Amino acid sequence: MKQRENVVVLDFGAQYTQLIARRVRECGVYAEILSGTTPADEIAARSPAGIILSGGPGSVYEPDALRPDPKIYDLGLAVLGICYGQQLLAQHFGSSKNVCRAKHQEYGRTHLHIERSERLFCGVKSPLQVWMSHADRVKQVPDGFVRLARSKAAPVAAMARPEERLYGVQFHPEVEHTEQGRAILENWLFDICQLKRDWSLKSFIDEAIEQIVQQVGEGKAVCGLSGGVDSAVAAALVDRAIGDRLVCIFVDHGLLRAGEFETVREVFSEQFDLNLVAVDASDRFLDRLSGVTDPEEKRRIIGEEFIAVFEEQASSIGDVDFLVQGTIYPDVVESGTQSSAVIKSHHNVGGLPDHMDLQLVEPLKYLFKDEVRRVGEQLGLPSEVVWRHPFPGPGLAVRVLGELTADKLFKLRQADAIFMEQLRRYGLYRDIWQAFAVLPDVRSVGVKGDHRTYGQTVVLRAVTSTDAMTADWARIPHEVLDETAGRIVNEVDGVNRVAYDITTKPPGTIEWE
């Protein structure tokens, strides 16, 4: 892999850290995320042109606050501190007294008034609307720094020590609600860091293929193909690298959406011509899941069974050394990192059991979902695969709340299929990041044909997002929801109520379990 110009993003636990990296990549510069406490020598070994200090949920004046290695400031690199990152700069070059609890906290949109451009705000019109999310504030700039901007509740909304290329902003330029946010980031990247635009998904594809060739050598690999975009793109990349030495294994665990098993076999065996082994292991999975209600236990069991099935299939193929997985960056983050808590476990994150001989190949591990889709398009995957809504590895097991039964799965598949059909009929499917039906363990009273019913409830969930790290509920027209609900209660036996989930992420997650 060639050494490319890059930026390191140090993660202090902010929900927007991945968005920072994504925005930098959109500017044509490669960004890598590292733990906020990564030693300076490890950062220097990556030869970055600059360091971005992310936001974070903590306060810099707390005794156990996350702080970077102070030696990073001796590397001579440009630094941009965002929110908590600016407060870290203020504390390091001043003292803890430079940062305090804000009397009036800022969350959401506010107006920024620029006082000095100092390259960071070159060409940026003032005032501008920015996105704030902070309870603490920098009350005075450290010695040697100058104030660049202010807001109503933040007297130091941006600051700099220009001669040393140290910059801090209290707002979030990476969030789309910040006007001219990209221009501010580009000023830092191309004027202050003097970077070139040499990152693209085309270059990623070329380098990923090269890396796969180096890793796999003359060996064979199996890929866990689920039918979703992540595993499909991973398979396509590895197929491009090693050809027939890749065998894709598609496991029907009995938890797929309606018609999915047949669709996957047709697309990947016939249209895309991959070596595909389709395995019906539904009885095996459902037997192990019988009586299980805890979602984490469901995920653990399904993960174990996947591993077991793959071991069996790999051994029957013979001389297989590698297992390809479609792990993407949000999977890694939500499974917990040094700076981020575990939100939910993912069965394809964290390596493999000690007894398993296969080595992992994860070519998409540091890509976001929208990047994966664009890679899939460049590799020539069918649009119905590239734009398919995300589907969790545990499948419908985490969309049927409580104990799994064949009857519940049948009802959920019907309701989900109706929902997808309606979204496509009204041209909404591509506008929505992810949509699905949930069957909670809830029954309610209803009336059908003058008779009392005591049936099940279906919850519909649809969200808009760019990277799955944050999401908003989709504003589906009421008439579409009305028609969809009517179809579900009339066509799905035993369902007498439909609800629509309007929770954002955070505080909720996209999936219910």
The set of catalytic residues is 83, 172, 174
Q: What is the distance between the alpha carbons of residues 340 and 94, in angstroms, rounded to a whole number?
A: 28
Q: What is the distance between the alpha carbons of residues 509 and 498, in angstroms, rounded to a whole number?
A: 20
Q: What is the distance between the alpha carbons of residues 456 and 488, in angstroms, rounded to a whole number?
A: 11
Token pair 């279906």: residue: 458
Token pair 């490669």: residue: 30
Q: Could you give the C-alpha distances from 287 to 291, 312, 342, 404, in angstroms and in order?
A: 9, 18, 28, 10
User: How many other CB atoms sit within 10 Å of the CB of residue 194?
Assistant: 12
In the DSSP assignment, the letter for residue 189 is I
Q: How far apart are the first and last CA of the chain?
A: 38
Q: What is the distance between the alpha carbons of residues 462 and 476, in angstroms, rounded to a whole number?
A: 8
- On whether the CB atoms of residues 108 and 131 are closer than 8 A, the answer is yes
Going by C-beta distance under 8 Å and a sequence separation of 6 or more, which residues neighbour residue 136? 59, 60, 61, 84, 87, 99, 100, 101, 102
Max intra-chain CA distance, the chain: 80
CA atoms within a 13 Å half-sphere pointing along the CA-CB vector of 424: 11
For residue 52, give the 3-state DSSP assignment: strand
Q: What is the distance between the alpha carbons of residues 409 and 392, in angstroms, rounded to a whole number?
A: 15
- Tokens encoding 157: 């909304």
In 3D space, the residue among 313, 316, 324, 311 whose CA is nearest the CA of residue 215 turns out to be 324
Angle between helices 295-317 and 282-289 (to 10 degrees): 150
- Tokens encoding 147: 């104030």
- On whether the CB atoms of residues 242 and 275 are closer than 8 A, the answer is no
At position 378, the amino acid (one-letter code) is Q
Q: What is the distance between the alpha carbons of residues 291 and 186, in angstroms, rounded to a whole number?
A: 54
In 3D space, the residue among 177, 260, 228, 233 whose CA is nearest the CA of residue 466 turns out to be 177
